[in-house]
Structure 1
Amino acid sequence: MEELVRQIIGYLRGMWRYRWWGLLLAWVIGIGGAVVIYLMPDRYESTARVYVDTQSILRPLMSGLAVQPNIDQQIAILSRTLISRPNVEKLITMADLDIEVRNNAEREALIATLMTGLQIRGAGSNNLFTLAYSDERPERAQRIVQSLVSLFVESGLGGKRQDSDSARRFIEEQIKNYEQKLVEAENRQKEFRLRNMALIGDGGRDYVTQIAQLNQQLAQARLELREAENSRDALQRQLVGEEPVLLPQTPNPSTVSIPELDGRIDTLKRNLDDMMQRYTDQHPDVIGAKRVIEQLEQQKIEEIEVRRKAGPAQFGSLNANPVFQQMKLSLAESEARVASMRARVNEYESRLTQLQASAKMLPEIEAEMTQLNRDYAVHKSNYDSLVARRESANIAVEMDNQSGIADFRLIDPPSLPIKPSAPDRTRLMPLAGLAGLAAGLALTFLISQLKPAFSDSRSLREVTGLPVLGTVTMLSTPERKRARWRGLLAFGGGVGGFVGAVIAATVALSLIQG
């Protein structure tokens, strides 16, 4: 600490030797600063206050139906982004400032001046804004502020309308896109269902349901087939040992009657007529019945030929045994039913085999169907949401057209300043005085460092590293004392005069501005 104090004292002693140079520089800077401050042109500030009312009675009533933007946030952003180059160029035209512009360089300078000079000051969260601008001519400052107020209101309304229109156009485009996606998804579902109709099922029936129903039908058909076969076998056992049936010899089979065959053929033809009313020619029962009829007719022809060759002795009439004839007819009907049921069983077995062969494809088909349904559901959900948002946006636009997004109220119109607002000479003058004193001190310190001197033997010994044998002091005579006091008084007077001059200039400038 002692070393630091000694070093500071050494600096002050060195500066004291060149105090007159510092005082001279302080006077020069002070006088020059006073002249500059006095010659600075006056600037007049015009201000206007605007209140933005963002509260509307329709907004709470339309809550949940219309889009509710954050109007306070929009106004705050508008106040911070209003002073941009496009808006400033528009303001130049509105305020007729382009009349004074002669070339592009002057126009760019004017734009730069306005962008730095225009001010929009907010008053917290009360939506109260102060618009201000300073200019050398008060009427031009007023005109610029008036144009800024108009621009502030127009930007707030126009920007909202542009945002609403852009949002609605975007929503319309998205709705058209999702309409196309929905149509494509529906077409994919339709094509998939047509390709896999047999496996997907009919009327909500799935693959497992079809297999179960087909197994049940097959089991029922097999049961009926076994019943028909048992009935036929019983009739055949009853006919064993009965009188053989002989036909008279005749060359025309159509005129020959063999009751057991004719009865079966007639029964099958009646059944065929009934089936033709219910089924097509390609139905398995119809095909089986036709095949059995053809076989019985061929058997009849062969039987007639065998009996004709056997001779007339074999002819006889079976009409004498009605029980035998009735049993023959029942046997024919049983054989026809057996043939029909066997064709039905074969058909059901073929269908079941086909479904079982397609069992490996079922998981893949179900996964694809699930994916198609999921894609369609996503597109449908997004489409419905976009349509709802479009209607909400339309309601919000209509609400804004009725009530406006905000009510801009001009509290204080742009003022025409009478007194200059800048420069504040009463503050600048003391600063100029302080700047002069600071410059004088800096000059004395710089000179003392450029022309150093030793104030005591200790500093000399530390710098040179040589031993100091002794010092010679200057005797203080009365004449030197008087000269020293005169120098102190002169320096003090110079410093005091500088301070007094600064104070006097400050008072004079305050009186001039007042």
Structure 2
Amino acid sequence: MTTKLNLREWATYLGVIRRRWIWVAAVFFPVSAAVAVTVFFLPRSFEADALILIERREPLMRKIPGGYDFDQYLLTLRQMMMSETNLRAIASKADMDLGKNEKALRGLVEKLQKTVSFRNKGRDLFEVRVSGDTAQEAYVLAGTVSSHLVETSLAIRRRAAGAAYDFIQHQLENFRNKLQEAEERLKFFKAEHVEEMPGTENTNLSRLQQTKTDLQAVQLQVRELAEKRTQLKEQIETEEPMILATTDSAPAGIRTQQMEAALAQALLTYTEKHPDVARLKAEIAAAKAAMAKGGKGAPTGGTGTTAANPIFQQLRASLAAVEADLAAAQAREAALNARIGDYRRKTVSIPEAEQKYRQIVRDVDVTAGIYSNLLGKLEDARIQKEVEIKDEGISLKIMDPAKLPLHPAKPNRPLIILIGVLAALGLGGAIAVLRELLDRSFRSRQEVEEELHLSVIGAIPEISTPSEDRRSAQRLRWAVVGTSAYLCVLAGVAGVELARQSGIFR
């Protein structure tokens, strides 16, 4: 039963093809022929490739601590190659800019930006691919782009190495001057604040204490000298500048004067409670008492002379000496007070001076660190510059130069024609099926019985008229002509394509 159904289905399909083949042919031949002709007129595109090798001389590159960032370097290089300036240079080397105005040159640059591409082929390989309208154009452009890429890479590396060296050298000079200035500031600050440096707190405090002790001693000396000055002034007030010396009393008077002079001299050294001072005072008092007792009843007309009182003179000299010593002691007291104030100021200002000192030292250290770092970088830049000048660092080499393409890369004509044929066949079949579905007439006894549920008594065979026979013959002739034309078109397209591939014409 299943076999009968399958045969019936196939019979139905064959019947549809037999009845509707004209629609399939009417769509298939024009569409497929149009696709074939259209493909023939599609512009061809040729591609040429050049393989670039990245040479990395690792032993030499290890001399440079920073080395190279290869990926970033290649990315930057590719971006630069696609810039308008480099593409204009490439077009000029390939003689593509001859006779072109500015607008045409810009169009050429835009075209090159679309047709030039780079593809990674491995860790140390990448490919330069260029598309062109002709094989010669693609070949020339690929060779020009690859050579320009190698030249540009070398120029960029040398220029960058030289610029880096010059920049670091300039910065080194600036920081050398800054370091010298910072060291001079530190030297001047230490000289100006030698007693306020960190660690001098104990020294200043000990000096302050010692100065206070010296001040107390000087103040005591000032008080003693002031008391002596007062005593001397009192003694001077009790003495007469001139005395009358008689012949009889001259020895006793001279003795008394000598003792008083000795007393004045002793008072310059000792206090009144000193035994020598007390003894001299007692002797002077006894001598004066004896002179007074012996002089009672003496004749008034005795001989005598007027002379300077030596005691008065001695007291005046002692007063001058005491006042001089007192002035010196007071001056020393003032100097010690000033020194104490200076030590106190320095002790108080030590934290601030220490802060400024540490800031200056920090500036010196930071500047010295930067300067030392720049020295190392300058040496690295010098090595890198020499490496680039000798072309011993990273370098690009054309490993596989571009070759003249023998066949166009685009379009793939056989594939497009095949797709067009299948599409035309499918479109024709779809139209035939649609026509069959729209036709509601019965084609067999089975269709009548299945549709009307009635038994068919008899069937009248199809009887064609002469006019229908003529139309059928005419359709057949048109089908033969169309098929022949279609085959001629395909043969012509194939022949032209073979001629192009053979190099007969391009």
TM range (shorter): 0.5 to 0.7
In the other structure, the counterpart of 1:123 is 121
TM-score (norm: length of structure 1): 0.60
For the structure 1 residues 380 and 29, does the alpha-carbon distance in structure 2 shift closer, same or farther, using more than 3 Å as the test?
farther
In the other structure, the counterpart of 1:146 is 143
**Residue 213 (structure 1) aligned to one of 207, 210, 231:** 207
Structure 2 CA distance for aligned equivalents of residues 132 and 74 of structure 1? 20
Structure 2 CA distance for aligned equivalents of residues 203 and 360 of structure 1? 12
Structure 2 CA distance for aligned equivalents of residues 442 and 379 of structure 1? 86
Kept in 2: contact 1:188–1:372 (CA 8 A): yes
Alpha-carbon deviation of 1:393? 0.9
SS of residue matched to 1:131: strand
Structure 2 CA distance for aligned equivalents of residues 382 and 176 of structure 1? 12
For the structure 1 residues 133 and 438, does the alpha-carbon distance in structure 2 shift closer, same or farther, using more than 3 Å as the test?
farther
Report the AA paired with residue 87 of structure 1. Answer: N
Alpha-carbon deviation of 1:97? 1.3
Q: Which stretch shifts more, 164-173 or 86-95?
A: 164-173
Report the AA paired with residue 316 of structure 1. Answer: I
Q: Is 1:316 matched with 2:251?
A: no
Report the AA paired with residue 216 of structure 1. Answer: Q
In the other structure, the counterpart of 1:255 is none
In the other structure, the counterpart of 2:110 is 112
Structure 2 CA distance for aligned equivalents of residues 415 and 207 of structure 1? 86
Alpha-carbon deviation of 1:501? 7.1
In the other structure, the counterpart of 1:33 is 35
Structure 2 CA distance for aligned equivalents of residues 395 and 166 of structure 1? 13
The correspondence of residues 347-366 of structure 1 with structure 2, limited to 5 A, is 347-356=335-344, 362-366=350-354
The correspondence of residues 373-384 of structure 1 with structure 2, limited to 5 A, is 373-384=361-372
Q: Which runs of 5+ in 2 are unaligned?
A: 1-16, 271-317, 441-450
Alpha-carbon deviation of 1:364? 4.3
Kept in 1: contact 2:161–2:388 (CA 8 A): no
Q: Is 1:159 matched with 2:156?
A: yes
In the other structure, the counterpart of 1:389 is 377
Q: Is 1:431 matched with 2:419?
A: yes
For the structure 1 residues 186 and 55, does the alpha-carbon distance in structure 2 shift closer, same or farther, using more than 3 Å as the test?
closer
Kept in 2: contact 1:221–1:341 (CA 8 A): no
Alpha-carbon deviation of 1:181? 4.8
For the structure 1 residues 28 and 348, does the alpha-carbon distance in structure 2 shift closer, same or farther, using more than 3 Å as the test?
farther
Alpha-carbon deviation of 1:372? 3.9
Alpha-carbon deviation of 1:145? 1.9
Alpha-carbon deviation of 1:161? 1.8
In the other structure, the counterpart of 1:306 is 239
Kept in 2: contact 1:75–1:156 (CA 8 A): no
In the other structure, the counterpart of 2:278 is none
Residues 397-446 of structure 1: CA distance to partner in whole angstroms, max 9, x if unpaired? 1122234333433333332334444432222222333444566689899x
RMSD: 5.3
Report the AA paired with residue 308 of structure 1. Answer: P
Kept in 2: contact 1:218–1:345 (CA 8 A): no
Structure 2 CA distance for aligned equivalents of residues 434 and 216 of structure 1? 118
The correspondence of residues 339-488 of structure 1 with structure 2, limited to 5 A, is 344-356=332-344, 362-436=350-424, 479=461
SS of residue matched to 1:97: coil
Alpha-carbon deviation of 1:116? 1.6
Report the AA paired with residue 114 of structure 2. Answer: T
SS of residue matched to 1:57: helix
Structure 1 CA distance for aligned equivalents of residues 324 and 138 of structure 2? 116
SS of residue matched to 1:201: helix
Kept in 1: contact 2:118–2:126 (CA 8 A): yes
Structure 2 CA distance for aligned equivalents of residues 386 and 473 of structure 1? 105
Report the AA paired with residue 147 of structure 1. Answer: T
SS of residue matched to 2:241: helix
Alpha-carbon deviation of 1:120? 2.7
Structure 2 CA distance for aligned equivalents of residues 42 and 33 of structure 1? 16
Residues 101-158 of structure 1: CA distance to partner in whole angstroms, max 9, x if unpaired? 4433433332222222223332121x22333333343333322222112211111111
In the other structure, the counterpart of 1:171 is 168
Alpha-carbon deviation of 1:309? 4.1
Structure 2 CA distance for aligned equivalents of residues 171 and 438 of structure 1? 73
The correspondence of residues 331-342 of structure 1 with structure 2, limited to 5 A, is 331=270
For the structure 1 residues 413 and 336, does the alpha-carbon distance in structure 2 shift closer, same or farther, using more than 3 Å as the test?
same
Q: Which stretch shifts more, 153-162 or 415-424?
A: 415-424
In the other structure, the counterpart of 1:47 is 49
Report the AA paired with residue 56 of structure 2. Answer: T
Kept in 2: contact 1:319–1:325 (CA 8 A): no
Q: Which stretch shifts more, 71-80 or 426-435?
A: 71-80
Residues 155-192 of structure 1: CA distance to partner in whole angstroms, max 9, x if unpaired? 11111122223323433444455456556656765776
In the other structure, the counterpart of 1:458 is none
Kept in 2: contact 1:56–1:403 (CA 8 A): no
For the structure 1 residues 23 and 354, does the alpha-carbon distance in structure 2 shift closer, same or farther, using more than 3 Å as the test?
farther
SS of residue matched to 1:415: coil
Structure 2 CA distance for aligned equivalents of residues 216 and 454 of structure 1? 135
Q: Which stretch shifts more, 304-313 or 128-137?
A: 304-313
Alpha-carbon deviation of 1:363? 4.2
Structure 2 CA distance for aligned equivalents of residues 159 and 481 of structure 1? 90
SS of residue matched to 2:210: helix
Q: Which stretch shifts more, 74-83 or 143-152?
A: 74-83
Q: Which stretch shifts more, 388-397 or 44-53?
A: 44-53
Report the AA paired with residue 50 of structure 1. Answer: I
Q: Which stretch shifts more, 152-161 or 127-136?
A: 127-136
Report the AA paired with residue 116 of structure 1. Answer: K
Structure 2 CA distance for aligned equivalents of residues 444 and 365 of structure 1? 106
Alpha-carbon deviation of 1:481? 12
Alpha-carbon deviation of 1:389? 1.7
In the other structure, the counterpart of 1:84 is 83
Kept in 2: contact 1:426–1:509 (CA 8 A): no
Report the AA paired with residue 51 of structure 2. Answer: R
SS of residue matched to 1:417: coil
For the structure 1 residues 361 and 434, does the alpha-carbon distance in structure 2 shift closer, same or farther, using more than 3 Å as the test?
farther
Alpha-carbon deviation of 1:374? 3.2
Kept in 2: contact 1:50–1:409 (CA 8 A): yes
Report the AA paired with residue 206 of structure 1. Answer: T
Residues 347-404 of structure 1: CA distance to partner in whole angstroms, max 9, x if unpaired? 3333223543676655444444444443443333333323332232122211222343
Q: Which stretch shifts more, 72-81 or 153-162?
A: 72-81
Higher Cα radius of gyration: 2
For the structure 1 residues 90 and 229, does the alpha-carbon distance in structure 2 shift closer, same or farther, using more than 3 Å as the test?
closer
Of all paired residues, the percent bearing the same amino acid is 21
Q: Which runs of 5+ in 1 are unaligned?
A: 1-15, 233-291, 456-470
